[in-house]
A and B are shown apart, each in its own frame.
Chain A
Amino acid sequence: MVKAGEIYYDPQYVYPSGNMEDKLLIVLRETNSPNDPVILLPVTTNKGNQHYKDGCNKSKYIFYLRANEDFFVNNTIVQLHILNGITPPSQSNFDKLIIRKSIQYKGKLRAETIYKLIECLQSMEMDIDSDIFRLIFS
């Protein structure tokens, strides 16, 4: 089972172009059974050095973490827009993906960061699918 704030490393993250890259993913809520959905948020490095304010950038669908503020050593964008149009995998399907894609556990966000991230999502209710919003906040 996964817990909120856990960070996983996917070394085989495939893009539509066919390119394979690595990807870090944050777990948003804990699971208690194999059927529970695992809600994941992918992150990316701010390579373009675009300017974002720290924390919640709700109109851009971004939660921004400065380098070394928490787990991440680079300026990091948490991609919140993926909550709009996704069916999350169940815990049992995620377990299969862990094996198939050699996904590794890497660490955990601090409680304060998880709290701010959740608070950000709460403020974005207007733009999160209602079924997903209910899953996160039930």
Chain B
Amino acid sequence: MDIKDKHRKKLLEAIVYFASNVKNPTKMMIYKMLAELDFRHFEQTGLSVTNSVYVAFEKGPVPKKLHDEITQDKKLVFPDDFKEALSVQKEEFVDKKSGKDITKFTILPKRKADLSVFSPRQKKIMEEIAFIYRDSFATTASKASHEYDKPWYKTIKKSGLGSVIDYLEQITHETPVTKEEAKELQKEASAFKSNYNG
């Protein structure tokens, strides 16, 4: 299925890439890596990669639209345009420590990622993230993602669990654009996309 929306195409290819390059590509792990990609790129440029909106959940950042789209009761179902590239493996077990029932979704790639949709900077960031999380489990990744300077940590502190994580919080003195400029970039990019995409 041909995906016309470039941000959605990037979202799919980033998931395929991460699922192919880490040992434990669980749903939460993939969410964390997507958030790392978007927020690191935003810090460096003032633009996100996949245009996803993230909310701060207890276990880390969650891409709201994707999560709502693939979560059906206790199942994970990919939308039609993602099915040619991804499949899912479900595992249910009881956690020995807590005694709680756990459902684990592992995301599996069906093909290689098409990296031509990304810029060289985006590819470089993806490689760095895959390297960092290559051998991690979701729990250790979760700890990493809760570091005090991460935007989702700041969001929980400031606005509470379930709040939208503000990309602008990621702007530092090293970001080449100001908060105002980043807002303008976002506004103009959305407008152009809705007028001239595909």
Contact = CB atoms under 8 A, between A and B. Distances in A.
Interface of A: 10, 13-16, 23, 25, 40, 42, 44, 59-61, 79, 81-82, 84-89, 93, 97, 101, 125-131, 133-134
Q: What 9 A-B pairs come out closest when comparing CB atoms?
A: A59-B176, A87-B198, A131-B116, A82-B192, A15-B191, A16-B190, A85-B6, A87-B6, A130-B116
Given A84-B47, A86-B192, A89-B198, A15 B119 contact: no
B185 A129 contact: no
B6 A89 contact: no
Contacts of B4: 87
Interface residues of B, number: 34
Contacts of B192: 42, 79, 82, 86
A81 B7 contact: no
A97 B194 CA distance: 12
B118 interface: yes
B28 to A, nearest CB: 26
Nearest to B193: A86
- Chain B interface mostly: helix
Contacts of A42: 188, 192
Given A81-B47, A129-B119, A14 B197 contact: no
A13 B185 contact: no
A97 B120 contact: no
B121 interface: yes
B128 to A, nearest CB: 15
B188 A126 contact: no
A130 B194 contact: no
Contacts, number: 90
B191 A14 contact: yes
Contact of B193 (A79, A85, A125, A127): A85
B45 interface: yes
Contacts of A129: 6, 116-119
Contact of B118 (A10, A23, A130): A130
Contact of B185 (A15, A61, A125): A61
19 contacts: A13-B191, A14-B194, A15-B187, A15-B191, A16-B191, A16-B194, A25-B196, A79-B188, A79-B192, A84-B119, A85-B49, A86-B192, A86-B193, A87-B4, A87-B9, A88-B198, A125-B120, A130-B117, A130-B118
A87 B6 CA distance: 6
A72 to B, nearest CB: 17
